[in-house]
Amino acid sequence: MNEQNEQDRVIRKWLQDEYNSIEIPDPSPAWDKVRIQLERRRRHKKLRSRMAILAAVVAAALMINAAATISISKTYAQMSSLLQEVRDYLVEIFFTKEAFDHSAAVTAPPAPDEAEHAALPEEVSLEAAQAKLGFSLLVPAAMPDRYSLDRVRIFQEEDGEYRNAYLEYASSDQHIVKISQHVISPGSTRVKSDISASAGDIQQVWIGGSQGVLIIVPEGYATLEWLTEDGIKISISGKLNVQELMRVAESLH
Amino acid sequence: MEQWFYLLQSPLDELDTKIQELVFRSFYQFVYRDILFMVRDHSLAEDIIQEAFIKAITKGPQMRSCANIPAWIKQVTRNTALDHLRKLKRDRQILVESFVHRGDTAFEEISVTSEVEVRERDKLLYQAMAELKSDYRQVLLLFYIEGRPYRDICKELGMSEPVLTQRLARARKKLLQHFLRKWADNHE
């Protein structure tokens, strides 16, 4: 046993001497490789976060579209086009009345940007807008007192019809609330909204009987978009808290 | 406990690059000897340390606040080393030859003093260690270098005390056999 213990002692000393004699080299080359891995991990983490927001927005958009088309197959048919439109930090929500089937079209549809910029803006009074627009212009009855109507713009499209309207409300401290209204008629090109993928909190809400997308950003701004039963895409955005925003939306008449 | 251990419990990906570098360098210094002791190859040791570091910073934030972080780091790194060794199924003969070559070069430079014999002993011991199976090196490290009790070692390796006793005995026996053969060869 003593011999065993002695052997143990010797081995322990030898091994500890050998262990302690190991020189630890400069870790700089290893750090250079690890630094690159850490940067890659950070990029992947950012991408995963954006994709999570995108998934939430896509889900919300699908629900809006489902309400508009009342057809699950058409809803899912548009999902791929929705995803294809994601660019860098922007997520585009599409509001449509029916699926796009271009196979029978003689002329190719215009690119989305071209369609949007085709209309000419006119600044008019509220009464003139109500007279010219091809739909009933909705006006809020419950705008916060600090805001007053500052500007009304309507857009005439190539066919001479007015299908777009913007109401701008301004406050004394120069904040603006915008209410846009856009008719989506059957067969029209896609109407879309751009939302930053890092915008903030995205929620589904109900306005009357219609589902909408509410986006709350940290700086006190919020945007609400939905499609009414009459096929009008409405968007309200500006420096409003959620309660004010919902009251404005529900008071539109 | 040093500050950098606690930093492993934070999401290191989100911290400043300088802090990340500090933690990595400290991690490297902390585990290098253990890993080289086990794998006997500097390049492999570096690969293992890098991989173990990434594992540590991934799992670190999930650790309980009362966890024994240093022990956990060593365990993660050792397990990573074992995974590598098993994956590589490295030929021990290749390792031995590379170390023998190094030993010969060092031996030529040595003058005859008692310190020389000590150095020679260490060199031969190093070579003898390289000839051992990685499982044997692991138990030698845990028992003789870290001084861990049998119970702790059994828990970490998932084996019973009789099995550990047997493995340690075989590891000692093999180490001495290799070492004594080399010593005898060198003094013929």
Q: Distance of CA A11 to CAs A31, A41, B153, Å?
A: 35, 44, 18
Asked if residue B64 and residue B27 are part of one domain, the reply reads yes
Residue B188 confidence class, pLDDT cut points 50, 70, 90: low
Q: Report pLDDT for B20.
A: 92
Q: Is the ipTM of this complex over 0.85?
A: no
| Closest residue in B to A20 (Cα–Cα) | B33
Q: Indicate whether B22 and B83 sit together in one domain.
A: yes
**In this predicted structure, what is the pLDDT of residue B120?**
76
Contact across the interface for A30 and B50, Cβ inside 8 Å: yes
Matching residue, tokens 């990573």: B80
Q: Let me know whether B9 and B83 are in one domain.
A: yes
The runs of H, that is alpha helices, within B110-141 are 114-130, 134-140
A48 contact residues in B (CB cutoff 8 A)? none
Residues of chain A with pLDDT under 70: 1, 3, 61-120, 185-200, 218-219
> Which residue's structure tokens are 């000393």?
A13
- Output helix, strand, coil percentages for chain B, rounded to the nearest 5: 80, 0, 20
Distance CA A24, CA B78 (A): 17
**The domain boundary residue, chosen from B61, B88, B115:** B88
* Pair (B98, B177) in one structural domain: yes
Task: Give the pLDDT score at A160.
Answer: 84
- Looking at the structure, do residues B116 and B174 belong to the same domain, yes or no? yes
Residues B11 and B83 in one domain: yes
| pLDDT attached to residue A184 | 75
Judging contacts by C-beta atoms under 8 Å, the chain B residues touching residue A31 are 21, 24-25, 28
Residue A88 is predicted with a pLDDT of 40
Residues B72 and B132 reside in one and the same domain: no
Q: Measured between beta carbons, which residues in chain A are less than 8 angstroms from residue B17?
A: 35, 38
B140 with B172, same domain?
yes
Handedness of CA B120, B126, B128, B131 (dihedral sign): negative
Strand partners, A195: A91
B138 and B74 fall within a common domain: no
Q: Which residue has the tokens 């803006």?
A: A121
Q: Residue B66: its pLDDT value, please?
A: 64
Considering only alpha carbons, which residue of chain A is nearest residue B24?
A: A31
CATH number at residue B42: 1.10.1740.10
pLDDT of res. B170: 92
Angle (nearest 5°) at CA A111 between A106 and A117: 120
Domain limit, last residue, from B53, B88, B123: B88
Residues 10-49 of A with CB under 8 A from B: 11-12, 14-22, 24-25, 27, 29-31, 33-35, 37-38, 41-42, 45
At residue A185, the pLDDT reads 60
In tens, the pLDDT along B87-99 reads 876 544 444 433 3
pLDDT at residue A199, rounded to an integer: 52
Mean pLDDT value of segment B29-44: 92
Q: CA-CA distance, A96 to A85, in Å (whole number)?
A: 14
Nearest to A119 by CA among A150, A159, A92, A152: A159
Domains and CATH numbers, chain A: 36-250 (3.30.200.100)
Question: What's the structural domain count of chain B?
Answer: 2
pLDDT reported for residue A107: 42
**CB-CB: which of B32, B145, B175 is closest to A24?**
B32
Range of the domain at B133: 92-186
Question: Tokens 């306005």 correspond to what residue?
Answer: A207
Helices (H) and strands (E) in chain A, counts: 7, 10
Q: Can you give the pLDDT at residue A152?
A: 93
Do B98 and B84 fall into the same domain?
A: no
CATH for B164: 1.10.10.10
Q: Based on the domain organization, do B118 and B138 belong to the same domain?
A: yes
- Of B88, B122, B141, the one marking the end of a domain is B88
d(CA B134, CA A215): 57
Q: Which of A242, A244, A175 is nearest to A215 (CA)?
A: A242
Domain check: are B57 and B108 in the same one? Answer: no
Percent of all residues in chain B with a pLDDT value above 90, rounded to a whole number: 35
Chain B residues within an 8 Å CB radius of A44: none
In chain B, whose CA is at the least distance from the CA of A42?
A: B13
Contact: A12, B46; criterion CB under 8 Å: no
Contact (Cβ atoms closer than 8 angstroms) between residue A129 and residue A139: no
B45 CA to centre of own chain: 9
**Residue B108 predicted with pLDDT over 50:** no
A29 contacts on B by Cβ (under 8 Å):
46
CB contact under 8 A, B126 and A18: yes
